[in-house]
Structure 1
């Protein structure tokens, strides 16, 4: 078996955290599907980067200029076109896995992260525009996002909940998922067609906690470096097991519902001293997804060595890590709240960069058209 096949046999679906027009048109995305990649995620940062490189979008930008599109309309058309085409590439995977994998994620406008009604409307618009059953709409797990998650699911929209850092927020996300499915059932939707993943971020936790441990500077603090991210994620899986063993879930399961899988996001290591597949081999458990940036995916294919389930059985040790951090004066609540704020801010900044890049491309195309 290849490494990706081995991970899949252990219950881990490997998705790529990257999407661009070039990746699609070059055939690279199809090649990765052939290697065992089962889905793809995108976000404003990825789109901004893709648009700033090369001329893959030139033809569509020219068409948008001819149609009189403004910047917001152009961004909408460009991103939904990429995602629609990616959905078509992954459709065979979707069919083969009965809808579990073959998924492509597209995020709502991150400026709406604290606007419940705006997020709901954005989710509907994107869902209708892409018009592919293997789409996942990404909604941030802010307090305001929780209601939008339930609403989207209640309308039959499959959801990727993103920017989850804390265990309490993750539990709230799972409750929002159950509420959404209960409402979907009341609305007459086929629950088996509604899918969801919950994106729990990993490496950013280590980056923030390790910086604080370095400030403490003791031997005890040094011994805790690079342990918080894994501990946090493993305890999230414990919460997942608890929620999806409740009578409330069993009622929905009997009605055809699929569980909301835990997805490990931010799995590229930030510390060069760490193994480059740390957040892959150390986060293996059934019914999980690991979405990897290209560099991490390449490393995983090349030399990762999965060693069975590395999550279940670690809960006591993981809780001890968080307890020891608190004893050193590192507040878990303060860390995860800061990471959520920064996560939303980063996506908003990337969205601004995306808007500026598209504005520049539109202006360039108009100038060229006028010159001709």
Structure 2
């Protein structure tokens, strides 16, 4: 079953698991996935942590101790999540040593700060210091306010996973922010070889939004374009990445030891049951990229996924034709990407609220019997 995952890895795609829990770490499940399923990285978000904390008792003792010390809910969340990420980093440390670019574990800045540059920088630095592992990645959203934060944090020598990227235009701004950060880091005397970054380009949500608009238009031409936008968008993003790494600006940084900011295909769980459940893996195979998958998608690919070679390089023209046709059908693409970013930030914040409520519940549960 894992032969398909190995074939995917052999094609140059780094397989990262979009999930983490203390149970995965302590039972050895994460190590097993690394050993047997070609998993070489982990991404997290507040919803993932909320689910882990709600479903397991492995956090109770730590929660009880923190509450006894007077910690509020924000402090409890910070300690629980940074502990899990630190321990996952340790599990993946051999991968980081062996591969140099993989073995990474991501943790997000507080989502309420998505539109506050200075607070995002402060949160990123606090998380980096707390996790205290070189193979951690701090997730910063690609909002307009997030762009200068990315530059500042990279400039401080901190590795970053840029998240919530939907449009190629914004992706170009993200790559520029990364290069500016590397230039700043070089000026500050940081070793560029120690800094890593990925740019998380969201996939499935693009089809969800554009498909809904095509269905509302309802013409045969519009309906025939359903399910094509997300892959085309990612292929255009990869073409933009190729342009940047061919530039003189990048070549100078690479000569100084910098590593490229790899494209990461995120949100690769297929939401439309009419589409193949491995669509956003099979159709986005290309070397030097990351695909972060929920376990359901990982298992689906292990069971019946196909690797048909490079599906991205050289397909920018074809991808642009798809977008030209979508625009001609009447879809306002600028509005699509604006809505996706706004919804992404809102979901980001809702996810955090879910985590806060879950942890409050755990705090009450572990202290309730002692008070009774």
**Range of TM-score over shorter length:** over 0.9
CA distance in 2, matches of 1:186, 1:367: 53
Q: 1:276-303 CA distances to partner (integer Å, 9 max, x unpaired)?
A: 1110010011110000001000011111
The aligned counterpart of 2:217 is: 216
The aligned counterpart of 2:60 is: 58
The aligned counterpart of 2:76 is: 74
Q: Once superposed, what is the RMSD of the aligned Cα atoms? A: 0.9
Q: Alpha-carbon deviation of 1:355?
A: 0.8
SS of the equivalent of 1:224 reads: coil
Q: Alpha-carbon deviation of 1:309?
A: 0.2
SS of the equivalent of 2:145 reads: helix
Query: Which stretch of structure 1 is more off in the superposition, 49-58 or 262-271?
Result: 49-58
TM-score by length of 1: 0.98
What are the residue-to-residue correspondences of 1:232-251 with 2, within 5 Å? Answer: 232-251=233-252
CA distance in 2, matches of 1:235, 1:251: 24
Is the contact between residue 264 and residue 289 of structure 2 (CA under 8 Å) also seen in structure 1? Answer: yes
CA distance in 1, matches of 2:366, 2:6: 45
CA distance in 1, matches of 2:276, 2:357: 36
The aligned counterpart of 2:260 is: 259
* Among candidates 41, 45, 48, match of residue 46 of structure 1: 48
What are the residue-to-residue correspondences of 1:1-372 with 2, within 5 Å? Answer: 2-35=3-36, 36-98=38-100, 100-371=101-372
Q: Alpha-carbon deviation of 1:5?
A: 2.0
SS of the equivalent of 1:264 reads: strand
TM-score by length of 2: 0.98
Q: 1:309-354 CA distances to partner (integer Å, 9 max, x unpaired)?
A: 0001211110011111111110111111101110110110110111
CA distance in 2, matches of 1:285, 1:342: 29
CA distance in 2, matches of 1:75, 1:230: 35
- Which 4+ stretches in 1 moved above 4 angstroms? none
Q: Alpha-carbon deviation of 1:223?
A: 1.0
SS of the equivalent of 1:143 reads: coil
Is the contact between residue 113 and residue 119 of structure 2 (CA under 8 Å) also seen in structure 1? Answer: yes
Q: Alpha-carbon deviation of 1:142?
A: 0.2
Q: 1:67-97 CA distances to partner (integer Å, 9 max, x unpaired)?
A: 1111000000010011011000000100111
Q: Alpha-carbon deviation of 1:4?
A: 2.1
CA distance in 2, matches of 1:49, 1:324: 40
Runs of 5+ consecutive residues of structure 2 not aligned to the other structure: none
Q: 1:154-202 CA distances to partner (integer Å, 9 max, x unpaired)?
A: 1110000000001110000000000000000000011011000000000
Q: How many residues align?
A: 370
Q: Alpha-carbon deviation of 1:56?
A: 2.4
Is the contact between residue 54 and residue 362 of structure 2 (CA under 8 Å) also seen in structure 1? Answer: no
CA distance in 2, matches of 1:45, 1:209: 25
SS of the equivalent of 1:122 reads: helix
Runs of 5+ consecutive residues of structure 1 not aligned to the other structure: none
